């Protein structure tokens, strides 16, 4: 069994309660280890993707654009330019002679065709190698077209997703500070780090609205360029998915003096706490706000809790493995599973930081395996060893769980079911319940064998 773990990766795996907690992370992935991670380009594409009225042009060979074509569930209430996949589709001769000319021509062509509010140009691996001056082309085209044309330095090999988040934040930061902020309420926020998967940001915005809070910019779910341009007029930044957008919040704090708080909209406590934290922030300016926040939570819970109880009955005691992109999401998931009576026995992420993992270790039960930048061999080993009933992850983890006869919940950017907010918690419970209690698992050979062994044991007694 231990064979599944690479010697070089031993310090990226920890079992809580066994020795002092120290987990190596933020390392380059090990060659040949089949990491579940993507690249810098992926990181910036994820963050910027939902800005729906911007042109997103991938400067590189076709693959980078094609693999990110409309794969996410980020919805828009208006324009849908983000769902198209634009590429310069670099060819051999472009690689030899440079792609700047092609980039410029492609940009002019697409801006003319789509009249976007801004354009983001993503530099891919190859562009970094051939040394195209993407920034210069962008400046040139911005001048000609009169819209912001923003280079995103997202060369894939420059690190992992985290560097991509940074590149995205830098790109968005260039937009802030350029719009009119005169009509913005003093009780106002920007929502950072929510991508409106399956319409989630609409749920969250509604809660804030009911509290009397104006949302200036969605960054970036259902995002609009003009909103980001005036985002510096908001009184507070509320940051979810801190890995992705915390850096933008920090830059905005430094430059515009806008404070930020961290939030999560997943699960009951975290959702409620996020609303309360915003109310707390504004309570001096708006004395009634806490009351209204409590009212929102009360109303929602009165609908949610009775329904949740139904699911909990069947799920009590079942064991869960979590492997997600960002560690911050894992905190909320652990708490959400407690509401369902389920026990998290494995938790890992692609890109957690030292602080993330320390925090995770602190809230996990003893014996929980914590893992950074894992791979299919390790994950399948732990699923078996820890006798997991349900796995939470993304597309690449799904077949691992399914092959082992383990229920699965899709909790990544491709989800088409809203999992945030109080209503999202119900959807989450429903999905978890549907998979973990399905009768199909009894036919999966591993489960069948386990049931047989169990029966034989009982017989022996």
Partner 1 sequence: MSDSPYVSTTNACKLCTPLGAALAFRGVEGAIPFLHGSQGCATYMRRYIISHFREPMDIASSALGEKQAVFGGGPNLKKGILNVMSKYGASVVGVATTCLTETIGDDVPRLLAEFRKEFSDLPLPEIVHVSTPSYSGTHMEGWHAAVAALASQLVQVKAEPQRRVNLMPGLVSPADLRHLKDILADFGVAATVLPDISDSMDRPALLDYEKLPAGGTTLADIRAMSGALGSIECGRADHVAESAGANLERRFGVKNLRVGIPVGIRESDAFFAALEELTDVPTPKKYQDERGRLVDAYVDGHKYVAGKRAIVYGEEDLVIAMTAFLAEIGVKPILCATGATCKNFKAQLAAVTEGLLPEPPEAREGVDFHDIAEQAADLAPDLLVGHSKGYTYAKAWNVPLMRVGFPIHDRFGGQRMRHVAYGGTQELFDRLVNVVLERKQEDSAVGYGYL
| Positions in 341-380 near partner 1 (CB under 8 A) | 376-377, 380
CB nearer to partner 1: pick between 168 and 361: 168
Does residue 84 belong to the site contacting partner 1 (CB under 8 A)? Answer: yes
Contact call for residues 87 and 116 (beta carbons, < 8 A): no
Reduce the DSSP state of residue 409 to 3 states and report it. strand
- Whose CA is closest to 351, among 332, 374, 379? 374
3-state SS, 73-112, equals: CECCCCCCHHHCCEECCCCHHHHHHCCHHHHHHHHHHHHH
When binding is defined by CB under 8 A, the residue of 25, 110, 320, 369 that contacts partner 1 is 110
Measured between alpha carbons, how far is 236 from 254 in angstroms, rounded to an integer? 13
CB nearer to partner 1: pick between 86 and 282: 86
Does residue 160 belong to the site contacting partner 1 (CB under 8 A)? Answer: yes
Give backbone dihedrals phi and psi of 408, rounded to 5 degrees, phi first.
-145, 145
Does residue 246 belong to the site contacting partner 1 (CB under 8 A)? Answer: no
Does residue 32 belong to the site contacting partner 1 (CB under 8 A)? Answer: yes
Does residue 6 belong to the site contacting partner 1 (CB under 8 A)? Answer: yes
Per CB under 8 A, the segment of 140-148, 291-299, 385-393, 439-447 that binds partner 1 is: 439-447
- Give the Cα-Cα-Cα angle 162, 164, 169 (nearest 5 degrees): 100
Per CB under 8 A, the segment of 202-210, 256-264, 402-410, 431-439 that binds partner 1 is: 402-410
When binding is defined by CB under 8 A, the residue of 15, 21, 79, 85 that contacts partner 1 is 85
Does residue 288 belong to the site contacting partner 1 (CB under 8 A)? Answer: no
- State the nearest-atom distance from the C-beta of 366 to partner 1, in Å: 27
Residue 374 CA to chain centroid, in angstroms?
17
Helix (H) or strand (E) holding 360: helix 354-363
Residue 58's alpha-carbon distances to 39, 91, 96, 345, 433, in angstroms, are: 14, 14, 19, 39, 40
Please, which of residues 169-198 interact with partner 1 by CB under 8 A?
A: none
When binding is defined by CB under 8 A, the residue of 399, 434, 454, 455 that contacts partner 1 is 399
Contact call for residues 275 and 296 (beta carbons, < 8 A): yes
- State the nearest-atom distance from the C-beta of 71 to partner 1, in Å: 8
Does residue 338 belong to the site contacting partner 1 (CB under 8 A)? Answer: no
When binding is defined by CB under 8 A, the residue of 50, 116, 148, 156 that contacts partner 1 is 156
Torsion of CA 368, 371, 374, 380, to 10 degrees: -10
Measured between alpha carbons, how far is 276 from 270 in angstroms, rounded to an integer? 10
Does residue 312 belong to the site contacting partner 1 (CB under 8 A)? Answer: no
Per CB under 8 A, the segment of 57-65, 133-141, 309-317, 418-426 that binds partner 1 is: 57-65
Measured between alpha carbons, how far is 109 from 130 in angstroms, rounded to an integer? 23
When binding is defined by CB under 8 A, the residue of 384, 417, 423, 430 that contacts partner 1 is 384
Does residue 97 belong to the site contacting partner 1 (CB under 8 A)? Answer: no
CB nearer to partner 1: pick between 29 and 178: 29
């Amino acid at each position: 069994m231990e064979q599944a773990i690479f010697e070089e990766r031993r310090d990226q795996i920890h079992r809580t309660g066994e020795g002092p907690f120290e987990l190596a992370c933020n390392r380059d992935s090990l060659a040949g280890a089949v990491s579940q991670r993507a690249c810098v380009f992926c990181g910036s594409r994820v963050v910027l993707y939902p800005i729906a009225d911007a042109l997103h042009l991938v400067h590189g060979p076709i693959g980078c654009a094609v693999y990110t074509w409309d794969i996410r569930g980020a919805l828009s209430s208006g324009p849908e330019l983000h769902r198209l996949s634009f590429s310069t589709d670099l060819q051999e001769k472009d690689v030899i002679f440079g792609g700047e000319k092609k980039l410029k021509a492609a940009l002019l062509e697409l801006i003319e065709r789509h009249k976007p509010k801004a354009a983001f140009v993503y530099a891919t691996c190859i562009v970094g190698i051939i040394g195209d001056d993407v920034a210069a082309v962008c400046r040139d085209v911005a001048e000609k077209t009169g819209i912001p044309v923003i280079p995103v330095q997202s060369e894939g090999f420059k690190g992992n997703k985290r560097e991509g988040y940074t590149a995205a934040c830098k790109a968005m930061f260039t937009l802030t500070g350029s719009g009119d902020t005169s009509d913005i309420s003093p009780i106002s926020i920007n929502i950072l780090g929510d991508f409106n998967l399956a319409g989630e940001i609409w749920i969250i915005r509604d809660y804030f609205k009911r509290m009397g809070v104006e949302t200036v910019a969605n960054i970036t779910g259902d995002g609009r360029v003009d909103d980001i341009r005036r985002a510096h007029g908001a009184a507070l930044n509320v940051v979810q998915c801190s890995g992705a957008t915390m850096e933008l919040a920090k830059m905005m704090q430094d430059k515009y003096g806008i404070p930020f708080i961290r939030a999560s909209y997943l699960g009951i406590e975290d959702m409620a706490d996020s609303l309360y934290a915003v109310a707390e922030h504004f309570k001096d300016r708006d004395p009634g706000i806490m009351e209204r926040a409590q009212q929102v939570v009360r109303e929602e819970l009165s609908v949610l809790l009775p329904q949740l109880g139904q699911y909990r009955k069947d799920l009590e005691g079942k064991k869960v493995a979590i492997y997600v992109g960002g560690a911050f999401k894992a905190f909320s998931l652990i708490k959400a599973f407690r509401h369902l009576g389920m026990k998290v026995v494995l938790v890992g992420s692609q890109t957690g930081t030292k602080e993330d993992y320390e925090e995770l270790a602190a809230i996990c039960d003893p014996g929980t395996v914590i893992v950074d930048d894992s791979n299919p061999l390790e994950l399948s080993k732990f699923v078996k060893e820890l006798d997991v009933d349900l796995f939470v992850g993304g597309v690449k983890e799904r077949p691992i769980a399914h092959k082992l006869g383990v229920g699965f919940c899709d909790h990544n950017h491709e989800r088409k079911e809203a999992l945030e907010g109080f209503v999202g918690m119900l959807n989450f419970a429903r999905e978890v319940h549907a998979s973990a209690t399905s009768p199909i698992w009894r036919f999966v050979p591993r489960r069948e064998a386990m049931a047989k062994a169990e029966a034989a044991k009982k017989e022996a007694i």
